[in-house]
């Protein structure tokens, strides 16, 4: 890197780090206050542990915003002090001037995507465990999602499910264990498939095994269809079955494959899978879109104008991203199209504005 590249990089990192600290602090303060108000008597140690595991996810969500802020403020400060004019006069293009910033954004995004893919699922599991057990005081809503099964615990029963569809109303390969007051096994029910209708579960092609103290051997009977009533509503199971944030991309891909083999709907999981890749490019797309504004608006509004531009661009991007992902989740768009459309639209808009600069 030459002197100019080091200077531009220094400006970017100063604004990037400062912006990250400000945004993360504001997010933590607002969210923590909301959590304390809605959960009276919450211990500070529990709150600290919860946000300690939540912090990487928060930073991942705010990373594109911090990259955009660092880029816009770095370029606009150079523009305001006429440093860009001097560089243009020396024959350097805007692309060459901003190249160090874009390379840093790509490098930051790639490293953090890789780190979150490896460590994010473990952090999410620990965060969810603390939330359901220590904050919500509803441990039955917490499930440990592994590579092959979903384990779920209620008041007097433990069951596991091999696959659960995104709506939470159908599952495959259910095994249900009922226990007595002393946690002695009383009954085991298995079923090849199950349909959830509120508290009523319809089991298909399974067996019932009874364990009694008067008999040395358990008694087993088969059934084609059986209806049971459970204490958990299907919505609770659906909440515990949202697995995308607790699986790496490789694990999520295998999870989608098993659901497809079982004939279950995988649209939501496919959208989540592709959206993780597309979101890794969000910082680069938003920076490309912010560069024309930072060059053209340096003298009219100053720093606050540029911060306002950051907020507006982020707001527009999130509206587009949320809208396309919602359409994809409901099957109106292909999962790949839904995940990448926001980047394509905003990237095209950035290309249009960059062409208008003619530099």
Q: In this predicted structure, what is the pLDDT of residue 216?
A: 66
CA–CA distances in Å: residue 33 to residues 40, 44, 51, 133, 357? 11, 12, 12, 19, 44
Q: In this predicted structure, what is the pLDDT of residue 39?
A: 86
C-alpha torsion sign, points 335, 148, 58, 295:
negative
User: Which region among 23-32, 70-79, 177-186, 237-246 has the lowest average model confidence (pLDDT)?
Assistant: 237-246
Model confidence pLDDT, tens digit, residues 192-221:
988 888 778 899 999 999 887 666 678 889
Give the ranges where the chain is alpha helix by DSSP (H).
3-38, 44-80, 83-89, 94-130, 234-240, 249-261, 267-280, 282-296, 302-329, 335-357
For residues 6-30, average pLDDT: 92
C-alpha to C-alpha distance for 130 and 141, rounded to whole angstroms: 11
Residue 275 has pLDDT above 90, yes or no: yes
C-alpha to C-alpha distance for 103 and 125, rounded to whole angstroms: 33
C-alpha torsion sign, points 326, 327, 329, 334:
negative
Which residues does 60 contact at the CB level (< 8 Å), separation at least 6? 112, 116, 120
DSSP symbols for 273-309: HHHHHHHHTHHHHHHHHHHHHHHHTSSSSHHHHHHHH
Q: What is the pTM of this model?
A: 0.74
Structure tokens at 331: 């099957």
Greatest CA span in the chain, whole angstroms? 96
Higher local confidence (pLDDT), 191 or 151: 191
Structure tokens at 306: 């540029």
Q: Which residue has the tokens 């459309």?
A: 341
For residues 21-43, average pLDDT: 90
Structure tokens at 276: 């993780």
């Amino acid at each position: 890197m030459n002197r100019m590249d080091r200077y531009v990089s220094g400006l970017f990192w100063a604004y990037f780090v400062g912006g990250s600290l400000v945004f993360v602090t504001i997010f933590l303060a607002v969210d923590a206050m909301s959590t304390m108000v809605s959960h009276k008597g919450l211990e500070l140690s529990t709150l600290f542990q919860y946000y300690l595991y939540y912090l990487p996810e928060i930073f991942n969500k705010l990373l594109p915003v911090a990259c955009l802020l660092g880029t816009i403020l770095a370029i606009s400060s150079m523009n305001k002090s006429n440093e860009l004019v001097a560089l243009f006069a020396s024959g350097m293009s805007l692309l060459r001037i901003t190249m160090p910033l874009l390379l840093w954004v790509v490098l930051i995004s790639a490293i953090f995507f890789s780190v979150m893919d490896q460590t994010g699922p473990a952090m999410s599991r620990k965060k969810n465990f603390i939330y359901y057990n220590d904050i919500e005081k509803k441990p039955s809503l917490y499930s440990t999602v592994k590579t092959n099964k979903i384990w779920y615990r209620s008041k007097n029963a433990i069951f596991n499910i091999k696959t659960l569809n995104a709506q939470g109303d159908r599952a495959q390969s259910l095994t249900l264990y009922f226990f007595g007051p002393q946690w002695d096994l009383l009954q085991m029910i298995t079923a090849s498939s199950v349909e959830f209708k509120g508290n009523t579960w319809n089991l298909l092609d399974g067996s019932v095994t009874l364990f009694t103290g008067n008999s040395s051997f358990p008694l087993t009977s088969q059934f084609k269809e059986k209806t049971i009533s459970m204490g958990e509503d299907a919505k609770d199971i659906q909440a515990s079955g949202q697995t995308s944030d607790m699986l790496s991309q490789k694990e999520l891909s295998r999870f989608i494959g098993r659901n497809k083999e079982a004939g279950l709907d995988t649209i939501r999981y496919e959208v989540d899978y592709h959206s993780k890749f597309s979101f890794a490019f969000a910082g680069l797309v938003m920076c490309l879109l912010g560069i024309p504004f930072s060059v053209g608006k340096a003298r009219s509004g100053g720093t606050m104008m540029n911060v306002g531009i950051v907020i507006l661009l982020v707001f527009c991007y999130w509206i587009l991203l949320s809208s396309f992902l919602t359409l994809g989740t409901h099957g109106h768009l292909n999962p790949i199209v839904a995940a990448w459309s926001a980047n394509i639209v905003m990237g095209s808009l950035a290309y249009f504005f960059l062409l208008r600069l003619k530099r």
